[in-house]
Structure 1
Amino acid sequence: MIPLIESTFDDILYGKLKMRQPLHGPRISVDTILLSWFVKLKNDDNVIELGTASGAVALILAKRWPKVPLIRAIDIQEDLIKMAKENAAINVLSDRVVFEVGDIRKIHALYPTQSFDVVVVNPPYNEISGSRISPKRNLAISRQGIACTLEDVIKASFYLLKDKGRLYLILRAKRISELCYFLEKSRMPLKRLKSVYPKPGREASVVLVEARRNAGRGTRIEPPLYICDETGNYTPELLSAYKIGE
């Protein structure tokens, strides 16, 4: 039997999405919203999210790109996949988003190689050696990478993607050199980069990245995104990331 976990029920994206999420575990954050906003899909894309948790990114993508027929999403935690399936049903998206239990490190056993056009992932922000491990397993998996490393994520993405297929991810800015090393090592050059800053005058907190499998060289550096302006108010660009349609 899957153990019950404490959860909250929240409105996301100005009420366009209703989500149950762990009270003590990976919760929806501004990074979740920004990653979903940064992703660009085509109507015929075959899409998968790795490490979906309670399903927010996959469900937001389904809402934002209604002509994409099917989005798959996996997570190693069975209790979170159960919650994600409930969220799909609540939002009447069960026919368009499929959630499955799966281990990124064993991706070869789950799907054929080069079977997806797009991989989306919010990988663990820290490696085990670089941070104090949370005593809560859900948090440790999402934050410290006890179930997979950044390199595991890149290798799995390369395996899943067709040639020229796109990988979208968000990561702490301080890990950009490490990320670029793994991308180059896996023949997935960085094609698009957007830095996110808490406010003007501060260092970048995270980066939004698009890489492509077996693509040519050349990276587009996009204008930065600021969460808040000089007065502490949310910027129009940040607020636009929370909107789906009108």
Structure 2
Amino acid sequence: MPDNDHTTDALLGGLVRLKQPRKGQRASADAVMLAAAIVAKSGAQVLELGCGSGVAMLCVAARLKNVTVAGLELQSDLAALCARNIAANSLADRLRVHEGDLRARRIAGLAPNSFDQVFANPPYFDVARHRVSPHAGRATARAEAEDADVGHWVAAMLRYAKPNAGLTLIHKTERLGDILAAFESKAGAIRVIPLWSRPGQPAKRVIVRAVKGSKAPLVLTPGLVLHQPDGSYLPEIDAVLRAGAALPQV
């Protein structure tokens, strides 16, 4: 993509700077909130599936200074852009991007059972129920493929995670049943964190965290309210989105 097809943007109050497609899939609060939910010890190996231009993995690296992060991206133009963003943030020593399809059994440079944390922001929209974006890149990022539904994403997360590794994803609340079914008997210690736009409203998003191979029971947390009555973010959420703070309740 030529540079006039990109914008240059700042995230986390300028801690992260990156180029994004002007008309394609762009940074969202969901990606930043997902990054803020990642818990990893110093020296941990972390993997993001479907990393796009690198929004979430760059945010993880900005907050967790002593971890390495790999990203897997299907779209070659976004994988190339992610590599540029990694270099522009001087993070090539800790971050790397791989181009490939998460449904593949083997991807060069990514070994199964080798990551301490695996996270993802899968495509949200069922093409049978939602209008698909006319922009091909955005459609790929947002529309769930028939042969790559949330169950395939969870299966890939489990494939690359070490035993007892953490697994984290954000998705629409209506898909929680599918997510829990995909984790059944393969992961436990599941924590469901509803994200409420305002008190009294249904939660449109959930963050789900789990541990590969655990038998511990599921916990439904109180969740997080995001907005004040005037529409602005609550201070603790603003700290996540603009200062790189960890997500409350993680």
Q: TM-score, normalised by structure 1?
A: 0.92
2:165 is equivalent to residue 157 of structure 1: no
For 1:133 and 1:230, how far apart are their aligned partners in 2? 32
Which one-letter code corresponds to 2:71 in the other structure? A
2:200 is equivalent to residue 175 of structure 1: no
Change in 2 beyond 3 A, CA 1:121/1:182? same
Aligned residues: 241
In structure 2, stretches of 5+ residues that fail to align are 246-250
**Structure with bigger RCO (C-alpha 8 Å, 6+ apart):** 2
Q: After the TM superposition, which segments of 4 or more aligned residues of structure 1 sit over 6 Å from their partners? A: none
Q: Is the 8 A contact 1:4 1:79 kept in 2?
A: no
Q: Is the 8 A contact 2:36 2:244 kept in 1?
A: no
Offset at residue 232 of structure 1 (A): 2.4
Q: Is the 8 A contact 1:76 1:103 kept in 2?
A: yes
Q: Counterparts in 2 of 1:49-68, with a 5 A limit?
A: 49-68=48-67
For 2:13 and 2:43, how far apart are their aligned partners in 1? 28
For 1:233 and 1:117, how far apart are their aligned partners in 2? 35
For 2:14 and 2:112, how far apart are their aligned partners in 1? 37
Offset at residue 79 of structure 1 (A): 0.5
Q: Is the 8 A contact 1:168 1:211 kept in 2?
A: yes
Q: Is the 8 A contact 1:200 1:229 kept in 2?
A: no
2:68 is equivalent to residue 76 of structure 1: no
Q: Is the 8 A contact 1:114 1:161 kept in 2?
A: yes
Q: TM-score, normalised by structure 2?
A: 0.90
| Residues 145-179 of structure 1: per-residue CA shift (max 9 Å, x gap) | 23732111111111111111111110011111111
Q: Is the 8 A contact 1:13 1:244 kept in 2?
A: yes
| Residues 75-134 of structure 1: per-residue CA shift (max 9 Å, x gap) | 011101111111111111111110111110104344332111111100010233332222
Q: Counterparts in 2 of 1:1-246, with a 5 A limit?
A: 3-4=1-2, 6-68=5-67, 70-110=68-108, 111-146=110-145, 148-184=148-184, 187-189=186-188, 191-242=190-241, 243-244=243-244
For 1:33 and 1:52, how far apart are their aligned partners in 2? 12
For 1:232 and 1:130, how far apart are their aligned partners in 2? 28
Q: Is the 8 A contact 2:74 2:99 kept in 1?
A: yes
Percent identical residues: 28
